[in-house]
Every structure is written in structure tokens, then in C-alpha cells.
Structure 1
Amino acid sequence: MNRLDRLTAILIHLQTRRVVRAQELASRFGISLRTVYRDVRSLEEAGVPIGAEAGVGYFLTDYHLPPVMFTNAEASALMMGGKLIEKWTDESVQTEFESALFKIKSVLKRPDQEHLDDLDAHINVAKPPYRKPHATGLLNSLQHAIARRHVLAIHYHSHYNDTETQREVEPVGLYHTHMAWHLIGYCRTRQDYRDFRVDRIRQLTDTKQSFSRRDRLSLQEYLDRVGRNDMPVTDVVLVFQKSVVRHLQEQKYSFGFQDEEDLGDRIRMRFQTPWVEGIARWLLMFGKEVTIEEPESLQSRMQTLVEALRDHYAEKVSS
């Protein structure tokens, strides 16, 4: 990126945030703090009213850029993002993004508009494996509540014990993992932080009641805490025949995959999982093509599951 483009990008960045730290600009553009200071000084000399507060950052005092023109690559990236939004969010977000994309297209040059039209039919994203109808339209409401710090009243279905409960939740953030959106929040009912699958929220009401964010973890702090202290993990060592390794695909990461070692016609894989029962049931599908080296507790659990399965089908045959 040449200096002129970088100065323009810094100005756009300043306009999108209330306060921007120098280190944030240095990290984004891959430059030194000294270069950031020099670039900001150049913008000031060009007449851009930039304020600064020691230890806080830079901010624009009263300045707005004219409508921004998008490059061909930027427009293409937005269109690709729209494909993901179409399949992996709900109608509330899809509708708003579609409206925004039309506005973006309206300011593009004619060749860039034609480029997007040509590209549109050649990019697609697979639908998620399921979509619950009761989850439709919640993501936008959740975003508003998070930004405004509003307490939510939710009617929630707990999958693990198949019960439905009423909760008051202080929303911390939204997190997408394992093909689903999750609302992370402080549950006033349980007096602790909880992870709520959005597709299991039966009903959502914004109470308009505000809460203080200073007393709550940020989303990243919650995720860091869960990563460290969620549950004790068990080290698992498995040896797979290479003929079945291609069937593991992305599933192995759901069970805490760490690394692997090539043994010729086999592959030794190491996992760290808090859910030994889950990995045991997953391994049933691989039959004799997988060998459990560690731990013994997993070997014992597999024997129990296999014996129960054998007895089940033996009863079917005898009847």
C-alpha cells in the first residue's frame, strides 16, 4: 500500500471509531508507531481536524468524508460476505445486509457492477445442516440488546435435560461455533455466565432494563476463561487406519484434536477432550479401524458400548 492510499485508509479508520489508538493503526497497516505519528501529522497539516488524548488515542473532532468509492476487490469481498450471511444468519440480518448491499452497488462504477453480476452466479455457500424456525429473526434483536446493554427475558429449551425455562439474561455477546450461533450472557436466574444456543431460544423479549457492563466479563474474557477452566480435559491417544482418516474431516476438531503422527499405514492422533462419553460414541462408527491407546477408561467405556450394541441386535435376531 502506497503512502497516499494509507493516509486515506487511516482517515476512513478514524471516521469509523470514536477513538483509535496509535497501536491499533500500526497493527492494521503493518507500520511502526513512528510512521503512525508522521502520517497523522500529515493529515493534520492537510486540514483534517484530528484530536489526541495522551494514553487514549486519536479522534476526529468534526469531519466527514464524502461518499466512499469501493474498489473492485472490496466489492467482491462484500458480495462473498453476503453469501455467508444468506446461509449462516437469520432473516433479520439477511434483510438488512441485502439492503446495505444494494446501496453499495448503487455507488459502484458500471464495470464493477457488471463484474459483481457476473461473479454472483459462480459463488455459493452450502446451507447449514438444519435451521429451527423458532430461531428466525432473533440475531438482529440480540445485537441491539448487546449494544444497548438491555436485559433480555428468554424462554429457553435446554437440550441436555429436555426442559424449558424462563431466564433473565444480561447479554455479553454473540459467538458462532460448531455451526450455530450462541448468546453468551450473565444469567440472573443461575447467577453465573451461560452459553445459550440461539436456535433453542423459543421466545425473546427485550425488557429495556439497562445493566452495567463494567461488572461483567467481555466476550473475549469469557471465551478465554472457558478455554482455561471450563471442564477438566482427558488426554486421548488413538491410532487410525489410513483408509478411514479421510472420513474424520472436520469432526476431529469437535473432539479436541491436537496433533498427529504418521506411522506408515496408520496415523496416531492425540486429543484433549472434556467429554469422554462423546468421543467414545463417535469412535463406534470406525469399528476395528481405530485402536484406543489411552486412556484405559475410554477402552472400558467402548467395551461397554459394544457389548450393549451386540446384545441389542442379538435380541432383535432371536425375536
Structure 2
Amino acid sequence: MNRIDRISAILIQLQSRRVVKASDISERFNISLRTVYRDVRTLEEAGIPLIGEAGVGYSIMDGYRLSPVMFTKEEATALLTAEKFVEQLADAATIANHKSAMYKIKAILRSAEKDLLEDIDPNIQVIINNQQPKQTANNYIQNILDSILQKNVLSIDYFAHHSQKDTKREIEPVGIFCMDTNWHLIAYCLLRKDYRNFRIDRIKCLNTTDKKFNKQHPTLKAYIAQTAKEKQLEMVIIKVEKKVYPMLSYQKYWSGFVSEKDLGDLIEMTFLTVSLEGFARWYIMFADSAEILHPESLKERIKTITQNILQKIDQPDFLLT
């Protein structure tokens, strides 16, 4: 990306949030903080009313807005792809809100971009794996998000899977996430006096109460990280050849998949697993097309397992009978 495009992108990023940290800009564009400061000065010299505060970040003076931004072909296609995911994984209310937002976005597209989206639309589909059918989502996601913002206590009727019983709870919502096509709500349960993970499709009834909560809860990211630490999850990082990557499918989620990075012919994958032993035996399925980066203990366990396999294979037939 050349400097002019980067400065334009920084301006758009500054308009996307109330305050943007210099470190966020640096990380996004892979540039030094010194370069960020220089680019910000360029925007100021161009007449952009920026407010900068040490240790806080940059913001644009209230009332300043650019005219509607035009999307590139790739950005417009990415928006359409995201819409396909929302249609498959979100609840009805979120789907409706997203469609409304997409109509507004498409309204400012140029004619060529509108034609592009119409032409490419039939060629993009999101299909839920037959082994993990899409859950029948209720319309609670927007209510939950509103309660997080307004700090309202929620009252829910919940089916507890482990006890096979219906329970009534009052909870302070922290955040939601989607895993294996199921939406989950992390909340502080006033009954249990602890944080709990609620499957949203198991909530039979949800009401927003007038009660407010003042407790400072951790962010969803911080909660998940802390939970992983408490459960003594082991981080595993591997590289997998792209030719075998599609075969991993949903198995990667069962092994604690967290994230992945495209390295050209390889995919770097990060996992948090509760059992290195179980991960090792899954890894052997595609080990000839992969490499373990971390931890060393996993490499040693793989060596032991494969040596045992070779010993059994090399034994004469009469020793096996």
C-alpha cells in the first residue's frame, strides 16, 4: 500500500471509532509509531481537525465527516460474503438488521459495484456441515447486546443440559460468541455467584429487567483467556500444508482451534487443547503434511507414539498371533 492510500485508510479508521490509539494504527498497517505520527501530521496539515491526547489516542472533532466512502471491488465482495455468514449463523432479528444496513451500504455504491454484487451473489454460499446442523435460533441476541450496553440485568428461563432441568436465573451479561454454529452467552449468574456459559438456543424465555448492574466485568476476550488459563489449556501451534487443510474440516474445532494464518502454501494454526495426548493422536492423521512449532513436549509424544507403531508393524506375524 502506498503512502497516499495508507493516509486515506487511516482517516477512515479515525472516523470509525471515537478514539483510535496510535498502536492500533501501527499494528493494522505494520508501520512504526514514528510513521504513524508523521501520517497524522499530514492529515492535520490537510485541514483535518484531529485531537490527540498522550496515552489515550486520536479523535476527530465532532461534526466533521467525509462524504460517503466508495468501496473497492474486493471490499464490496467481502461485505456480500459476510452477509452470507450472517444469514446462516445469526438469529432472525440480527439478520433483519444486517439486511437493512446492507441496503444502506449498497445505496451508496457506484453502478459498476452494484452490478458486480448482483453478478457474484449466486456464486457465494455458506453451507452448514450436516454433522453440525444450524440451531433454531431465537431472537434474543439483540436484546442481550442492548442489555450489555445499558447494563441491565436479564431474567431468563434456561434449560440446564447437565441436569436436564429448567431453571430461572437473573444474570449480568458479559458477551456472546458463536462456536460450532451455536451462540453462547457469557454472564455473571446472580444465583450461582459466578460466571456461566449459557447456550442461547436453550434459553426458553428472556426478559430485560429494570435492574442495573455496576459490577465491572472482564471483557469477553479477557474472560475466555482467563478460563483457558484456569483450565490449564495447552497452546499448540502447527503448520499444515494447504492440500490437506480442507480435510480437517470441523475436526479442528473439536481439537481446540483458536486461529489461523495464511503463509502461502502453508496454514499456521493455533489451538488451546485440554489434552496433548488426544491432540497428538489426532495430529498423526495428517502428520506427514504438517509441522509442530510448539510445544516441544508434543513433538516428543508424537515420536513415542510413532516408535510404538513402528515396533508393532515391524514385528514378525507369528509374534502378533
Change (3 A) 1:248 1:45: closer
| Residues 208-239 of structure 1 deviation map (CA, whole Å, 9 limit, x = unaligned) | 432225x2111111101111113x679xxxxx
Q: Write the mapping of 1:135-214 to structure 2, written as runs, cut at 5 A.
A: 135-212=137-214
Contact 1:173 1:183 in 2 (8 A): yes
Pair member with larger Rg: 1
Determine the C-alpha separation between the residues in 2 that align with 1:229 and 1:120: 44
Deviations 1:36-74 (A, max 9, x none): 101111111111111111111111123111111111111
Q: Secondary structure at the match of 2:115?
A: helix
| Contact 1:7–1:43 (Cα < 8 Å) also in 2 | yes
Cα root mean square deviation, aligned: 3.1
For residue 252 of structure 1, report the CA deviation from its aligned partner.
Answer: 5.7
Question: In the alignment, which residue of structure 1 is the partner of 2:46?
Answer: 46
Counterpart of 1:93 in structure 2 is 94
Contact 1:178-1:254 within 8 A present in 2 as well: no
Alignment partners' CA distance in 2, 1:69 and 1:165: 50
The CA deviation at 1:5 is 1.6
| Residues in 2 aligned to 1:91 and 1:123: alpha-carbon distance in whole angstroms | 20
* Equivalent residues of 2:154, 2:172 under 8 A apart: yes
Q: Residues 112 and 158 from structure 1, CA distance in 2 versus in 1: closer, same or farther, beyond 3 angstroms?
A: same
Measure, in 1, the Cα distance between the counterparts of 2:14 and 2:252. 42
Structure 1 CA distance for aligned equivalents of residues 256 and 91 of structure 2: 29
Q: Give the unaligned 5+ runs of structure 1.
A: 235-245, 259-270, 284-292, 295-319
Deviation (angstroms), 1:184: 0.6
**Corresponding residue number in structure 2 for 1:65:** 66
Letter of the aligned partner of 2:157 in structure 1? H
User: After superposition, where does 1:203-242 map in structure 2 within 5 Å?
Assistant: 203-212=205-214, 215-230=216-231
Q: Is the partner of 1:75 in helix, strand or coil?
A: helix
Q: Distance in 2 between matches of 1:20 and 1:61?
A: 13
- How far apart, in 2, do the equivalents of 1:38 and 1:248 lie? 45
Across the two proteins, how many residue pairs are aligned to each other?
258
Does 2:110 correspond to 1:109?
yes
Q: 2:158 & 2:222 partners in 1: Cα distance? A: 24
Contact 2:135–2:182 under 8 Å retained in 1: no
Secondary structure of the corresponding residue to residue 67 of structure 1: coil
Q: Indicate how the Cα distance of structure 1 residues 247 and 112 shifts in structure 2: closer, same or farther if over 3 A, else same.
A: closer
Q: Write the distance in 2 (CA, Å) between the matches of 1:92 and 1:38.
A: 44
1:257/1:3 CA distance change after superposition, 3 Å: closer
- Give the superposition deviation at 1:272: 4.9
Note if contact 1:173-1:184 (Cα within 8 Å) is conserved in structure 2: yes
Structure 1 residues 96 and 249, CA gap change in structure 2 (3 angstroms) = closer
Q: Runs of 4+ in structure 1 displaced over 6 angstroms?
A: none
Structure-2 residue corresponding to 1:313: none
Identity rate of aligned residues, in percent? 42
Opposite residue 17 of structure 1, the aligned amino acid is: R
Indicate how the Cα distance of structure 1 residues 171 and 54 shifts in structure 2: closer, same or farther if over 3 A, else same: same
Q: Which residue of 2 aligns with 1:241?
A: none
* TM-score of the two chains, using structure 1 as the length reference: 0.73
Code of the residue aligned with 2:166 in structure 1: it is E
Distance 2:71 2:257 in 1: 41
Question: Alignment partner of 1:205: what SS?
Answer: strand
Partner of 2:23: 23
Q: 2-side partners of 1:40 and 1:195: how far apart?
A: 42
Alignment gaps of 5+ in structure 2: 235-245, 259-271, 283-303, 306-321
